[in-house]
Homo-oligomer: A and B are copies of this chain.
Amino acid sequence: MIYFYTGIRMNSHILLIDCNDRKGLVFSITKVLFEHNVNIIRNGEFVDHDKSHFYMRTEFSGAFDTGKLIDDLKQTLPENARIRLTGKRKKNIVVLATKEHHCLGDLLIRNEFGDLNAQILAVISNHEKLRRLTEQAGVPYHYISHENLTREQHEQKVLDIIGQYGPEYIVLAKYMRVLTPSFIKAFPERIINIHHSFLPAFIGANPYRQAFNRGVKIIGATAHFVNEDLDEGPIIAQNVIPVDHTYDDETMATAGRDVEKNVLSQALKLVFDEKVIVTGNKTIIFD
């Protein structure tokens, strides 16, 4: 899997590499970059010594021949290298929601003022409730009711809308329906969900109710990539807040909403800034 630009690019670029580890990789990679005469702005590496696997993220600027740079990197890197070269640019996304407004509202304001590093192309919901919020922010809203439809039928309608927009990422902003494996397979490492618990605690339905019943003193939220194992995808970001015996499941949910929206936007920022490499069911996250 190789992602790359074509042509010659100016300004700021991000290079993500992962491959088998071996001696001299940083040297080899920075040598290629040096020969292409670019300026390294920031560099991060990580080696998983258990698996002998190497990860690197480089931000650089300057004019260079993209195809040649990729070729030169491929020649110097192990065969299993994944190379991803992108510019610093806004990602195109579609947001799926159900009835809760807090995550969507936060994303819409960030979208409107340009601090999401993404452009929300459309919002799709299985309810009408969030239409006004969405449309007043100038974003198209698609209501696809799930009533009288099988899961597959409903999803096909959602997929049809998504297909019209061709987003790079799909964000589940409290979308309360379980996606089918075929949907998920269609967007590998491209669907991001916010789950309202500090996973793996309280997997499944009603995590705040579960948290209340268990009598925990902290609750939290988890943003993760969605894969075929429900609530088991690679975790991008988590955060928690303290609670006590005076909280019931409703006040926990109220308190938790701020955590949810913060964790989701934090995770999206990391992904859209190309700071995340997914590896197995984990994420490598660069500063």
Contacts and interface: CB of A to CB of B under 8 A. Distances in A.
A265 interface: yes
Contacts of A34: 23-24, 27
Interface hub of A37, A50, A245 (most chain B Cβ within 10 A): A245
A202 interface: yes
B112 A109 contact: no
Interface string A22-63: 011011001101100101111111110110000000000000
A200 B213 CA distance: 11
A26 B47 contact: no
A45 B43 CA distance: 6
Contact of A136 (B49, B137, B214): B137
Taking chain A's interface residues, is the majority helix, strand, or loop, or is none over half, making it mixed? mixed
Given A50-B248, A246-B287, A234 B215 contact: yes
Q: Chain A interface: which size bin?
A: 35 or more
Contacts of A106: 106, 109
B240 A215 contact: no
Interface string A254-269: 1000100010011000
A283 interface: yes
A190 to B, nearest CB: 18
A212 to B, nearest CB: 9
A111 B36 CA distance: 50
B40 A26 contact: yes
A83 interface: no
Interface string A124-166: 0000000001001100000000000000000000000000000
Contact of A27 (B33, B101, B112, B258): B33
Given A106-B109, A109-B106, A216 B245 contact: no
